[in-house]
Structure formats: C-alpha cells, structure tokens
Amino acid sequence: MRRKLLLFICFSLLVSSTTMVMAQADQFLENGNKFMQVGDWQRAIVEFEKGLEIAEYDLEIAERLADAYLASGKRDDYIDEYKQLTKDDYTYPTNHFILGILRLDKADELEYENNRRDIYPRAIESFAIAIAFGADEALSRYYLGRAYEMDYTWGKYDNPSVANLEKYNDSIEHYEKAIQFSPEFLPAYVRLAIIYLVTGNLERALQQIETAVSIMPDNADAIYWLAHFSYLAGNYEDAVSYGLHATQINPNDAAAYGLLGLAYAQLDEKLLAIAMLRQGLNLGLPSSWAWYRFQYQGTLNALTR
C-alpha cells in the first residue's frame, strides 16, 4: 500500500512538473507572437528560442521561430547555421524541421532561377529526416506534403501536366496523414482542395472543405474557405450564406467581405457588392488575388463608374 502511494506521489509530481514546463513554453510562444505582431523580429527570436530550450520537440514553436528568422531578412545566414546544427546533432528532428522551412522559402523565392530545382529536394529531405527521428505529426506531414507539391508544380502553372492528379500522390498522402494526426488541421484540407481544384475535380475540392467545416463548425477560416470554393463552383447564394456566417464569427475577416462583394456582384446585388468590397478593402484586403482571378478593386471600380 505504501509503495503504491509513493508511486502515485511520484507520478503526480511528474505530471505537475511537465504541466509547468509546458506552461512556460506556451508563455514564451505567446511573448514571441506579440513581438512578431509589432515587427520586433529579434526579440521574437529570443522568446521562441527560449521556448524551444524548454520544449525541444514543440513544432509549433519551431515553426514560429522559422517564421521569425525569415522575417528578420537573414534567412540564408540561418540556413547555414542550421545546416551546421543538423550535422552536429543529426538525430535532433526539430532543427531539420526548421531547416526545411527555411529551404522551402528560399526555393519559393528563386522561382525563375534554375537552382530552385535543387533546393526543393533538400527541403523534402529535411522534413523527411525530422519525421524519421520522431517529429511525426500534423505539422511536419503538412510541410512535407507542401514541399512535394511545390517541387512538382514549379514552372508548370501554364502547363497541362499540372492537372495530372497522379503526380500529387506524395502530397496527398502527407496531407491526409496530417489530418489523421489532427482532424482540425485546416491547412491540410485547404491544400487538398486546391489540388483537386487544379486537377479539374471541383466537386471533390468542395467536399474537402465541407468535411473540415463539419468537424470545425465554428471555425471562421474553415467557413470562409467553404464560401470560397462555393463561389468557384458557381454556387453564389451558398457563397453569400457562408461568407456572412464567417463575418459573424470574425467581423474583421477582410477576405470574407471581399468574397461576399464578388458573390453579390454575380447575383446583380450591386449596392451590397459595393458595401462588402469597400469593407474588405478598408480592412486591408489587397486589390486582387491573381491565382484565383479575384479582382476586388477592379470589380468595385466597375460597379461605381
């Protein structure tokens, strides 16, 4: 009986200690995010690095640290630093994960340069190594899927081969694995929907987002994407309904107002379209979203001539 009591006490102390450590790490994450919001990248880096010292395998903190590195404008310096760190401790997955994010950004920037083709495979390798050494979770699977997708679609956006669904098998596998790990991981649903969109299966794309909303019925971002893909499918009344729902949950959702403006314009609701587009632009909506051919400012100009 006494032994069971001692074991219970030890277990309770361990749980309490772990909880305190995670609370400290979360505080560093919160502090870092606050510094990111005001553009103080260096102080954000310090906070995120402190968080990782406590929670060495926390990929959310690692992702934010990589974001801060990128925002600092010293990406290539940090790539060199993390290449060395991964050599020094090859089995520590978090450094490989951070290096993968940095490499992915570098490859994306080198869009029209030949050496971009050499960087994507290195990013893929970094994420794969991170997973192999224990960082196998939604975030790492998502980034690995993203790296495969970006590697394949490089330079192919005007090429019919981009619509070949089989070429996305690696990406689909890892996005689906991310969802298995975390059914509320919205970015994976969105990427799957985009893959099905570009490969000509809009109905299946819409189904991905509908599934996400069924799991996250109060998530404004998920509902926005449902409005977004409903609009692309030509279901403008549904797009309005979901768009309004998204703005009810998040009144500062500029993208939702912009989409509402476009949908109302398609329904010949001129005054409502003008009001929504103006609100979106007031909230910081860009003038257009070229990839989807969404012309927010152009539509507003046409409506107010």
pLDDT digits (tens, 9 = 90+) for 201-211: 999 999 999 99
Residue 12's pLDDT band, with cuts at 50, 70 and 90, is very low
Nearest to 107 by CA among 130, 95, 123, 127: 123
- The CA distances from residue 259 to 57, 131, 246, in Å, are 38, 37, 11
16-61 pLDDT, tens digit each:
545 666 689 999 999 999 999 999 999 999 999 999 999 999 999 9
3-class SS of residue 233: coil
Residue 169's pLDDT band, with cuts at 50, 70 and 90, is very high
Least confident piece of the model among 4-13, 71-80, 162-171? 4-13
Residue 118's pLDDT band, with cuts at 50, 70 and 90, is confident
**Residue 5: per-residue pLDDT:** 52
Burial class (CB in 10 A: 0-12, 13-18, 19+), 6: exposed
Paired strand residues for 295: 288
- Determine, yes or no, domain membership for 274: yes
**Residue 163: per-residue pLDDT:** 77
- Determine, yes or no, domain membership for 166: no
- Determine, yes or no, domain membership for 31: no
Residue 107's pLDDT band, with cuts at 50, 70 and 90, is confident
| Res. 155: pLDDT tops 70 | no
Range of the domain at 294: 231-305
Rounded to the nearest integer, the mean pLDDT of the chain is 91
CATH number for the domain spanning 246: value is 1.25.40.10
**Residue 4: per-residue pLDDT:** 54
242-272 pLDDT, tens digit each:
999 999 999 999 999 999 999 999 999 999 9
| Res. 171: pLDDT tops 80 | yes
User: In the chain, how many domains are there?
Assistant: 1
3-class SS of residue 250: coil
* pLDDT, mean of residues 223-234: 97
3-class SS of residue 199: coil
- Determine, yes or no, domain membership for 8: no
* pLDDT, mean of residues 140-154: 92
58-89 pLDDT, tens digit each:
999 999 999 999 999 999 999 999 999 999 99
**Residue 21: per-residue pLDDT:** 63
Listed in sequence order, the DSSP H helices in 38-74 are 41-54, 59-71
Residue 151's pLDDT band, with cuts at 50, 70 and 90, is confident
Question: Are the C-beta atoms of 252 and 285 separated by less than 8 Å?
Answer: no
Nearest to 228 by CA among 268, 182, 197, 185: 197
Counting residues of the chain whose pLDDT is more than 70, the rounded percentage is: 88
- Determine, yes or no, domain membership for 137: no
Residue 192 CA to residue 188 CA, distance in Å, equals: 6
Q: At what angle do helices 220-232 and 186-198 cross, to 10 degrees?
A: 10
- Determine, yes or no, domain membership for 264: yes
- Residue 177 CA, chain-centre distance (Å), reads 15
| Res. 117: pLDDT tops 80 | no
Instruction: Read off the amino acid at residue 82.
Output: Y
pTM above 0.85, yes or no: yes
**Residue 114: per-residue pLDDT:** 59
CB atoms under 10 Å from CB of 272, counted, come to: 16
Residue 6's pLDDT band, with cuts at 50, 70 and 90, is low
**Residue 2: per-residue pLDDT:** 56
- Determine, yes or no, domain membership for 133: no
Structure tokens at 272: 């409502």
Residues near 32 by Cβ (< 8 Å), separated by ≥ 6?
Answer: 43, 44, 45, 46, 47, 48, 51, 61, 64, 65, 68
| Res. 13: pLDDT tops 50 | no
- Determine, yes or no, domain membership for 129: no
| Res. 14: pLDDT tops 60 | no
